[in-house]
Amino acid sequence: MPALANRLKQVEVAASVVMTNKARALRAAGHTVISLAVGEPDFETPPHAIEAAHSAALAGDTHYPPQDGTPALKQAVQRKFKRDNGLDYALDEIMVSNGGKQIIANAFLATIDEGDEIIIPTPYWISYAEQAKLCGGKPVFVACPQNNGFKLRPEDLEAAITPRTKWLVLNSPSNPSGAALSADELRAIGAVVARYPNMWVLSDDMYEHMVYDGFAFSTLAQVAPETRGQVLTVNGASKAYAMTGWRIGFCGGPKALVKAMVNVQGQLSSGVCTVAQAAAAAALDGPQDLVAERAAIYRARRDLVVEMLNQARGIVCHKPEGAFYVYPNVAGCLGKTSAGGRLIETDYDFVLALLEEHHVAAVHGGAYGMSPYMRISYATDTDSLREACARIQAFCAGLT
């Protein structure tokens, strides 16, 4: 076979995809599998967004879009940043992409040179590191330990910065830990950022609306305005409006950076599906009640999952501020043998045995750069969550 590119050799398939595929295979073999491996809302896209897409298609909005996004969606994004984040972005500081994922890819492709360093607080969403590597960058992982609520400490950030640092990635609330940074915590990070004007900051706010118990969401450019010229504020429709399939992400940031990113996107995909952009504009401009309603449902699920997991022998589950993930520690289960005779030496062994013996799919912490943990997505109905947690308890009870 003719060769593939060397740059792909270091890039890994996301562990959540691997676990989801294993779960699918077990299901096809007739087992009742509960998957807690996917990071996708189990709700539906709001009907008014679907109707807007339909109307746009019928109205002939079916031609190549502007590379940076349709004016209607960019204006809706501009209003969103103002309304939710108190951020004023001009239209040439905003762009729309095929999901938040392509926003990040555009940003990295537009800025990373071979050997540049990208600081990634750990545990982290897998794609930051893989995309950075695809661009020739070097991920630099900074541990955010459980005893600090999985949050980045300013002193740890500063210690990781070198003359090669190109980006700092912030993701609050976090996938996979659910940890969210308060305004004060962000300000302290902002003070470090401002001392390194050659460093960009990617503020991935994808889980903005999923915060609980009165936690107030903040974003870096808002609370540390002195960093605004370095910050790319990233968000999207996927998680907030249960629109993962529509592939709409957007950002606000310095004009020169956004211009370079639009250039990249122009070569890669020309732009973003027109009818999906119409749907996202309707979601952003439409009634926002469902966002809070769904957050209340997620909060109840989080509480259920945290409580039940903490009753499982050997598991310690931190209660996070946001997102729809928990990141329980499974250290107390290591070195044991499962009822099915599997030796559990790592968090990967744990999730594999759990899937094979009790048919619950989760993702091992190693995939997110911090072990021994697992990531559980609670974007699933309550009955399935209760059953899954009962199975995890039974699995742990069977470890000897």
Q: Which residues bind ligand PLP (CB under 6 A)?
A: 39, 99-101, 125, 171, 175, 204, 206, 236, 238, 244, 249
CB nearer to ligand PLP: pick between 85 and 171: 171
Smallest gap from Cβ 223 to ligand PLP, in A, equals 19
- Give whole-number Cα distances, 56 to 60, 70, 279, in Å: 6, 12, 9
Smallest gap from Cβ 353 to ligand PLP, in A, equals 26
CB nearer to ligand PLP: pick between 139 and 249: 249
Smallest gap from Cβ 267 to ligand PLP, in A, equals 19
Distance of alpha carbon 51 from alpha carbon 55, whole angstroms: 6
Nearest to 23 by CA among 42, 36, 5, 39: 36
The bridge status of strand 374-377 relative to strand 200-204 is unpaired
Distance of alpha carbon 267 from alpha carbon 252, whole angstroms: 20
CB nearer to ligand PLP: pick between 121 and 137: 121
Which token pair is 55?
């109307």
Smallest gap from Cβ 176 to ligand PLP, in A, equals 8
CB nearer to ligand PLP: pick between 237 and 385: 237
Q: E strands of the chain, at which residues?
A: 34-35, 94-98, 117-122, 138-143, 165-171, 200-204, 231-236, 248-252, 325-326, 336-337, 343-344, 360-361, 363-364, 374-377
Angle between helices 126-134 and 99-111 (to 10 degrees): 40
Angle between helices 255-268 and 99-111 (to 10 degrees): 110
The bridge status of strand 363-364 relative to strand 374-377 is antiparallel
CB nearer to ligand PLP: pick between 196 and 368: 368
Residue nearest to ligand PLP (CB): 99
Burial of 220 (0-12, 13-18, 19+ CB in 10 A): buried
Please check whether residue 37 is in contact with residue 19, taking contact to mean a CB–CB distance below 8 angstroms: yes
CB nearer to ligand PLP: pick between 99 and 320: 99
CB nearer to ligand PLP: pick between 39 and 314: 39
Smallest gap from Cβ 72 to ligand PLP, in A, equals 19
